[in-house]
Amino acid sequence: MAKHPKSVVITGATSGIGFAIAEHLAREGWLVFPGYRSDDDAKDLQGLGPQVHPVKMDVTQRETLEAARQDVQSHLGARRLTGLVNNAGIAKLAPLMLQDVDEFASHLDINAVGALRASQVFGDLLGMETTLTGPPGRIVTITSMGGELASPFLGAYTASKHAAESISDSLRRELIVYGIDAIVVGPGSVKTPIWQKAKDADAAEKFSDTRWGKPIRSFLDGMVKGGENGLEPQEVARVVETALTARNPKARYAPVPNKLRSFILPKLLPKRLVDRGFWSQYDFPRI
């Protein structure tokens, strides 16, 4: 009997890390269900190969996730889903004291609550439905270095990633009763267009006449430079495959460039010392 291919649903798969995951796993023989929101976004996904079946979904709208689940199940039949990769997310720069609260809330709704919605909807296919065949699946949530290390001007983003990490930990500790695992992949700087798009849109201009004008401009320049020198999205995709397939996976993977300096040490140092590092690096005026 022919062995069935491993299968995966990926939210937010039309660009950046999500697209790289879809491309990599399709090349490795997986049955891939990459998520997209608009029909125009699906075009590039359709070119990834015959084992790729784009599914329309919006993680803020449960009904679209339910429809996508039915589509995926029609391909899987009585087999379980190998993995769900929660990748959909947004990141908008702003000082927290000036950021529109609805914009802040949208980060939580997409980056954290959206991951929970998708996990709930696809939970049956991952193993909560006991009549399906095959081993229980895994939930891999893409967070960020910011999921453990908050930075200025990305408070909404890092808050949502902190929340997503906590959700993943709780899911892992609860889903043991079904054999479903929940794992975090928290990358550092990755070569994706997200920060250049923010700079091209002049995301800092609206705050230029505030005391945060110069620091936020410096911060955005640093983000763009970090992206230019960051990991290739394909490197993150390989880590995701490891998280989905390793016999004894870690609870959290951290593919971070310059890991000791940019991630490990800031987590170990006193927070007040890390504060001073941010203030110095990004030209904060001191009163």
Query: pLDDT tens, 119-155?
Result: 999 999 999 999 999 999 999 999 999 999 999 999 9
Catalytic site includes residue 157: yes
pLDDT band for position 197 (50/70/90)? Answer: low
Question: Would you say how long the chain is, in residues?
Answer: 287
* Tens digit of each residue's pLDDT (9 = 90 or more) over 225-258: 887 888 999 999 999 999 999 999 999 999 999 8
Q: Are 113 and 141 in contact (CB under 8 A)?
A: no
The H-assigned helical ranges of the chain are 16-27, 42-46, 62-76, 101-107, 114-123, 155-174, 194-200, 213-228, 233-245, 259, 265-268, 271-281
Nearest to 153 by CA among 281, 17, 15: 281
Out of 36, 157, 253, 282, the active site residue is 157
Looking at residue 195, its pLDDT comes to: 64
pLDDT at 198 over 70: no
3-class state of residue 3 by DSSP: coil
Amino acid at 132: L
Amino acid at 145: M
pLDDT at 171 over 60: yes
* Strand 252-253 versus strand 138-142 pairing type: unpaired
Nearest to 227 by CA among 2, 1, 16, 13: 16
Q: Hunting for tokens 């940019």 — which residue is that?
A: 262
Q: Are 36 and 85 in contact (CB under 8 A)?
A: no
Distance set, CA 235 to CA 53, 151, 231, 258 (Å): 23, 24, 7, 14
Q: Please state, in angstroms and rounded to a whole number, the distance separating the CA atoms of residues 167 and 181.
A: 12
Looking at residue 41, its pLDDT comes to: 84
**Residue 196 burial by CB count (10 A; 0-12/13-18/19+): exposed, middle or buried?**
middle
Helix and strand numbers (H, E) in the chain are 12, 7
Q: Does domain 7-192+231-259 have CATH number 3.40.50.720?
A: yes
pLDDT at 86 over 50: yes
Q: Please state, in angstroms and rounded to a whole number, the distance separating the CA atoms of residues 63 and 253.
A: 31
* Strand 252-253 versus strand 83-86 pairing type: unpaired
Phi-psi region of 167 (alpha: psi -120 to 50; beta: other; left: phi over 0): alpha
CA-atom Rg of the chain in angstroms: 19
Q: Please state, in angstroms and rounded to a whole number, the distance separating the CA atoms of residues 73 and 55.
A: 12
Structure tokens of 271?
């927070």
3-class state of residue 199 by DSSP: helix
Average pLDDT over residues 152-163: 97
* Tens digit of each residue's pLDDT (9 = 90 or more) over 264-281: 999 999 999 999 999 999
